Amino acid sequence: MTTGTGSTPSSPSPLPSMAAIAAAFDLPGTPLSLTPVPRAWSHRVFRLSTSRGRFAVKQLLNPWGEEHWREWLAEAWDFERAAQDSGVAMPRPVPTRTGACLADVEVSGAGDPVPVRVHEWADAVPCPPGPVDAGVARSVGADLARMHALGHQPRRRDVFPVSDRAGIDAWPELVERVTARDPSLGRRAQAVSRSVSRIGELYDAARADASATVMSHGDVDQKNLLLAPSGHLLCDWDVASPWRPSAELLRTAMALAGWERPAVARGTIAAYRGAGGEDAAARPEDLALDLLIGVDWLAFCLQRATGLREASPQRRAEGRRQAEADMAALPRRVEIALSIGAWLRG
């Protein structure tokens, strides 16, 4: 079971204590080994083997610096369990002894306790990047309909990050700061400024037409899919939050299609509707939040790549690669979003 994107992170030390994890989550058997899992971008992930099983352990790092991340995670945890009960394909979450999602456990050697959560290990492989096959697209679309049908509402809405256009408005200043440190990256950032502005226009239109939201996964794409012999598994539920169903459906369909294959996106949408999801025409505004999140992520990567945000040499290199790829794709994605109906029929 793997999670996130990128290569193996530079492992800070010390490691969480195997014995402390096993005790906090009441895991069966004697702890034998704790092995780092590659491809984790935002957190640290390990495979914990005991004499009676294997488990995925995630050490939460809060890379975005969210003030209320624990309360957010508690809301996501409630929804994750509801989604599991509804039949959504996913690795089984393991609660602590007290039924919670998160435990602060001791580390091996000196150091402060660290927050971790646990899932049963899944014998599966990461979903490759690029468009998924038709079967995966359909099964994920049906699972998304199951999530939305729950109509799950959080107890607290104030714990979730609020989307705004701060990243759009700050883009010209960011371009200047990036250019001062890396002229090559700065030129590429300047070249996509018009696309960033158009995303702001779409976001303004979407805000003017806001509709009801329900709790959902919030990040259904290839990096959070595992492929098992029995089918797909959806992992990384930590950022589950309220979404407008039509917006998350289109975002998911486009991600699974890689913004390249209309037939894959159509298959996701058809399966969603066939499983009882709402039937609504795709609109450019439905992709506004997805594109806005993409701008915020691009800004984060540019800051890492140029030292405007503290990062290790490995993270700086990863940030540069990601920023370059995202800037290359951004203008085309904006054009597709603006003509999404015609693109889907293509």
Give the pLDDT of residue 131: 98
What string of DSSP letters covers 252-298? HHHHHTTTT-HHHHHHHHHHHHHTT-------GGGGHHHHHHHHHHH
Any bridge partners for residue 114, and if so which? Answer: 105
- The region that residue 11 occupies, defined by phi over 0 for left and psi between -120 and 50 for alpha, beta otherwise, is beta
pLDDT in tens, 113-145: 999 999 999 999 999 999 999 999 999 999 999
Give the pLDDT of residue 1: 33
Give the pLDDT of residue 41: 66
Map out the domains of the chain with their CATH numbers.
18-124 (3.30.200.20), 134-345 (3.90.1200.10)
Under 8 Å CB-to-CB from 278, ≥6 apart: which residues?
148, 245, 246
Q: β-strands 214-216, 241-243: how paired?
A: antiparallel
Asked if the model's pLDDT at residue 2 lies above 50, the reply is: no
Highest mean pLDDT among 64-78, 106-120, 198-212, 323-337: 323-337
pLDDT in tens, 307-326: 999 988 988 999 999 999 99
Find out whether 31 and 53 touch, Cβ atoms under 8 Å: no
Give the pTM.
Answer: 0.90
Integer Cα distance of 297 and 310 in angstroms: 15
Nearest Cα neighbor of 141 from 265, 241, 28 is 265
What integer is the mean pLDDT of 184-189?
98
pLDDT in tens, 21-59: 999 999 999 999 999 998 766 789 999 999 999 999 999
pLDDT in tens, 268-297: 999 999 999 999 899 999 999 999 999 999
Give the pLDDT of residue 3: 32
Asked if the model's pLDDT at residue 223 lies above 90, the reply is: yes
Give the pLDDT of residue 346: 87
What percentage of the chain has pLDDT greater than the value 70? 95
R_g of the chain, CA atoms, integer Å:
20
Give the pLDDT of residue 315: 87
At 12, the pLDDT band (50, 70, 90 cuts) reads low
Integer Cα distance of 63 and 42 in angstroms: 6
| Helix, coil or strand: residue 65 | coil
Asked if the model's pLDDT at residue 75 lies above 50, the reply is: yes
Give the pLDDT of residue 4: 35
